[in-house]
């Protein structure tokens, strides 16, 4: 088979499939090459995010949060339930069902938009030729006037802790256990470690997170990170900082982990080990040398701020290029690339990128941290409000955490919002919008917030930046 297209997208994750849909909306003849084979041994769109990332992890986080809530907190609300139990296979099957529906939805959207899904592995050659190798080994060749590379990322593996089917796993493996392990070691107290550690801790596993760095969540505002560390400890997540894993050995159906901290070397045996030490850009087998596309020293495809590679007409987006490895970042880049190809003014505002850790409470932030502003010499002011003073949080019985917002004193603009608390992921959106509109603290102060809502905490934090919060005693504005 062969053919030519205005745009060929290689990779059908949240960066690639969104790029393909936007390109088709703009009237471009579009194909998307995707090789993913899912748990049911079927080809699937949606990439890491839909198949083994954002969606399945959130399905398990939502279910286990409700379970833990019913088990641990319902009695406090005056709700009497019998013994609360968990049916793990059913929970996993529900998660798989959500994944199937959503990935099936993407193929329906491809059909509706007239996008051709080329199933198999794409390899970019000279002159924007893409060879697609199907599962049965057959090859076909296509030409694109424009190419968008969206081949994503894969988990980083540690040589010293090789994966071992069901006992030493990466994030994908930890989404599929059908019974609750007695004990789990997680290498890396990063986002995946905390989210998946929370899932299994809520189900009853003993969870130890070994983190090589001395700082906990170094990318998060320090006050929020401190609050998070305190809360996770209370939940029973045993986070050991400054602990570098040296190796692991699977013995008798369990795994012995060796790690080193300031006190020396330790050896502990666990039922399972999750390796969650980051992800690397994935270009294996996707680029021939004739394509001429340059990579940087970390293996990421080198692009400018418009996601253009060094070869005219070839773009790269998502996890395979610089910037945070986030689904929404990749999708926005996909839209930008498609719009630039169609002659429009695509743009991504990298300064206003929301980040969320979907633990309970959630941790969410946008813009600069106080530490970053300090080091940049910006004259800033902080406004803060604890959920303990929020009527709605009290009504929910969920009062942990705080909102911290930061303004640039020279122009009153909101330059950072940092939240730890109930529904932080949803609350963050208003700060993201305010920053996108170049909003000021005064704008938030003048915005009427419904009562009683959690969003009033943002309003109060803004008021507090002006030294006039209503529901807390105001500290001297700083």
**Is 345 considered catalytic here?**
no
401 binds, among ligand NAD, ligand FAD, none (CB under 5 to 8 A by kind): none
- Strand 414-421 versus strand 402-408 pairing type: antiparallel
Looking at the chain, the number of H-run helices and the number of E-run strands are 12, 22
In the bound state with ligand NAD, the residue whose beta carbon lies nearer, of 199 and 462, is 199
Report if residue 299 touches ligand NAD, rule: CB under 6 A.
no
Q: Give, as ranges, the residues between 302 and 331 that touch ligand NAD (CB under 6 A).
A: 324-326
Q: For residue 261, what is the enclosing H or E element? A: strand 254-261
Q: What are the residues binding ligand FAD (CB under 6 A)?
A: 10-16, 33-36, 47-49, 53-54, 57, 121-122, 150-153, 171, 192, 282, 285-286, 318-319, 325-328, 330, 358
Q: What is the DSSP letter of 256?
A: E
In the bound complex, what is the minimum distance in angstroms from residue 63's beta carbon to ligand FAD?
A: 15
Query: Under a CB-based contact definition with an 8 Å cutoff, are residues 448 and 373 in contact?
Result: no
Backbone angle region of 66, left / alpha / beta, with phi > 0 → left and psi within -120 to 50 → alpha: alpha
245 binds, among ligand FAD, ligand NAD, none (CB under 5 to 8 A by kind): ligand NAD
Q: At what angle do helices 191-203 and 54-72 cross, to 10 degrees?
A: 40
In the bound state with ligand NAD, the residue whose beta carbon lies nearer, of 87 and 371, is 371
In the bound complex, what is the minimum distance in angstroms from residue 170's beta carbon to ligand NAD?
A: 9
Q: Catalytic residue, from 328, 451, 459, 471: name it.
A: 451
Give dist(CA 257, CA 190) in Å, integer.
19
36 binds, among ligand NAD, ligand FAD, none (CB under 5 to 8 A by kind): ligand FAD
Give dist(CA 309, CA 300) in Å, integer.
11
Report if residue 213 touches ligand NAD, rule: CB under 6 A.
yes
In the bound state with ligand FAD, the residue whose beta carbon lies nearer, of 171 and 369, is 171
Q: Give, as ranges, the residues between 351 and 370 that touch ligand NAD (CB under 6 A).
A: 356-358
Number of residues that bind ligand NAD (CB under 6 A): 25
The position carrying tokens 């942990």 is: 400
- Give the length of the chain: 478
In the bound state with ligand FAD, the residue whose beta carbon lies nearer, of 36 and 380, is 36
Sign of CA dihedral 42, 47, 48, 50: negative
Residue number of the CB atom closest to ligand NAD:
190
In the bound complex, what is the minimum distance in angstroms from residue 202's beta carbon to ligand FAD?
A: 16
Report if residue 244 touches ligand NAD, rule: CB under 6 A.
yes
Q: Torsion over CA of 448, 452, 455 and 457, rounded to 10 degrees? A: 100
In the bound state with ligand NAD, the residue whose beta carbon lies nearer, of 279 and 407, is 279
Contacts of 33 (CB under 8 A, 6+ apart): 8, 9, 10, 11, 12, 118, 119, 120, 121, 122, 130, 132
Query: Under a CB-based contact definition with an 8 Å cutoff, are residues 322 and 306 in contact?
Result: no
Catalytically annotated residues: 451
The residue ranges that bind ligand NAD (CB under 6 A) are: 158, 187-193, 195, 210-213, 244-245, 276-279, 324-326, 356-358
């Amino acid at each position: 088979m062969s053919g030519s297209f205005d745009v060929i997208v290689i990779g059908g994750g949240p960066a690639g499939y969104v790029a393909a849909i936007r390109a088709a909306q703009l009237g471009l003849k579009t194909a998307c090459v995707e090789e993913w084979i899912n748990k049911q041994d079927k080809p699937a769109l949606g990439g890491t995010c839909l198949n083994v990332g954002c969606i399945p992890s959130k399905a398990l986080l939502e279910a286990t949060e409700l379970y833990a809530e019913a088990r641990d907190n319902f009695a406090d609300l005056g709700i009497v339930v019998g013994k609360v139990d968990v049916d793990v296979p059913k929970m996993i099957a529900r998660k798989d069902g959500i994944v199937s529906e959503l990935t099936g939805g993407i193929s329906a959207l491809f059909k509706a938009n007239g996008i051709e899904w080329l199933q198999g592995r794409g390899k970019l050659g000279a002159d924007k030729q893409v060879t697609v190798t199907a599962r049965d080994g057959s090859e076909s060749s296509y030409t694109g006037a424009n190419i968008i590379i969206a081949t994503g990322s894969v988990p980083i593996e540690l040589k010293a802790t090789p994966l071992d089917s069901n006992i030493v796993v990466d994030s994908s493996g930890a989404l599929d256990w059908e019974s609750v392990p007695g004990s789990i070691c997680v290498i890396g107290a990063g986002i995946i470690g905390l989210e998946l550690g929370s899932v299994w801790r809520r189900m009853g596993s003993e969870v130890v997170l070994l983190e090589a760095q001395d700082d906990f969540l170094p990318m998060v505002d320090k006050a929020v990170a401190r609050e998070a560390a305190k809360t996770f400890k209370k939940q029973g997540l045993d986070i050991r900082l400054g602990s570098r894993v040296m190796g692991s050995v699977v013995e008798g159906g369990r795994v012995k982990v060796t790690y080193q901290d300031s006190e020396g070397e330790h050896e502990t045996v666990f039922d399972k080990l999750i390796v969650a030490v980051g992800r690397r850009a994935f270009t294996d087998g996707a680029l021939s040398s004739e394509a001429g596309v340059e990579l940087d020293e970390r293996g990421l495809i080198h692009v400018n701020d418009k996601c253009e590679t060094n070869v005219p007409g070839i773009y790269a987006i998502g996890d395979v290029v610089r910037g945070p490895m986030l689904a929404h970042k990749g999708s926005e880049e996909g839209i930008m690339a498609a719009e630039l190809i169609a002659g429009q003014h695509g743009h991504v505002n990298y300064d206003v990128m929301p980040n969320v850790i979907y633990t309970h409470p959630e941790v969410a932030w946008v813009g600069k941290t106080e530490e970053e502003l300090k080091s940049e010499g910006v004259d800033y002011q902080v406004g803060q409000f604890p959920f303990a003073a929020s009527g709605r949080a009290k009504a929910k019985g969920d009062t942990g955490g705080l909102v911290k917002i930061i303004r640039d004193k020279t122009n009153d603009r909101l330059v950072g919002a940092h939240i730890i608390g109930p529904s932080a992921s949803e609350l963050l959106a208003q700060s993201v919008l305010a920053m996108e509109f170049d909003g000021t603290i005064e704008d938030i102060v003048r915005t009427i917030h419904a009562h009683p809502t959690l969003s009033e905490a943002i309003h109060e934090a803004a008021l507090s930046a002006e030294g006039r919060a209503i529901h807390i005693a105001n500290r001297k504005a700083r």
